A and B are shown apart, each in its own frame.
Chain A
Amino acid sequence: GESVGLHLPTLSVQEGDNSIINCAYSNSASDYFIWYKQESGKGPQFIIDIRSNMDKRQGQRVTVLLNKTVKHLSLQIAATQPGDSAVYFCAENTGSGNTGKLIFGQGTTLQVKP
């Protein structure tokens, strides 16, 4: 069945270090992937997205890598700051028609130590 999962529930990093958050997906038909950041008591906030015809996309301090061979997605955050502390979710659009439906992973909590 379809599933999106994250490898680690919690990631703890030192301020200033780079963070890498991983995500595995199981549906090879998925053609669009999104990373969201969710702070406590708030809704998920869009960070960056990538389409299946790309393997890398960069934003401000963030990079998303897509490896379709092993169905793996990662989010890299450069020079992690205390404000980056949050839960990060990956989501996939399985490409089953243009419904816009997304499947979300369980989330990884990023803790930034000062």
Chain B
Amino acid sequence: DGGITQSPKYLFRKEGQNVTLSCEQNLNHDAMYWYRQDPGQGLRLIYYSQIVNDFQKGDIAEGYSVSREKKESFPLTVTSAQKNPTAFYLCASSIMRGNQPQHFGDGTRLSIL
């Protein structure tokens, strides 16, 4: 089945540690996105990428980094500079031509040890 796969489902971070969240899609979508969701809140955009080897900051990029070396993959690294990383992280992808909905993975829940 085509879709978006995020892994792991749960992740724990020690203080001072960087962690990387995986996002893979087999929908042949050009654009990919990372969002952060806090309890009872909407989604806030961290980073997005419209083509391979290019990405842009979203509204809350500080403390995060991304790469887009392959069309199918858009990993997110939560660095030690992100002081409040506990949240639900969602990856999405979409077709770039015209207005198209974003399709989401099932998220990674990151907690601090």
Contacts and interface: CB of A to CB of B under 8 A. Distances in A.
Chain B at the A interface: mostly helix, strand, loop or mixed? strand
Chain A at the B interface: mostly helix, strand, loop or mixed? loop
Contacts of B50: 99-100
A4 B100 CA distance: 18
Contacts of B106: 41-43
Interface stretch (B38-46, B68-76, B77-85): B38-46
Contacts of B102: 34, 46, 100, 102
Interface of B: 4, 6, 31, 33, 35, 40-45, 48, 50, 56, 58, 90, 92, 94, 96-107, 109
Interface of A: 4, 31-32, 34, 36, 41-46, 49, 51, 89, 93, 98-102, 104-107
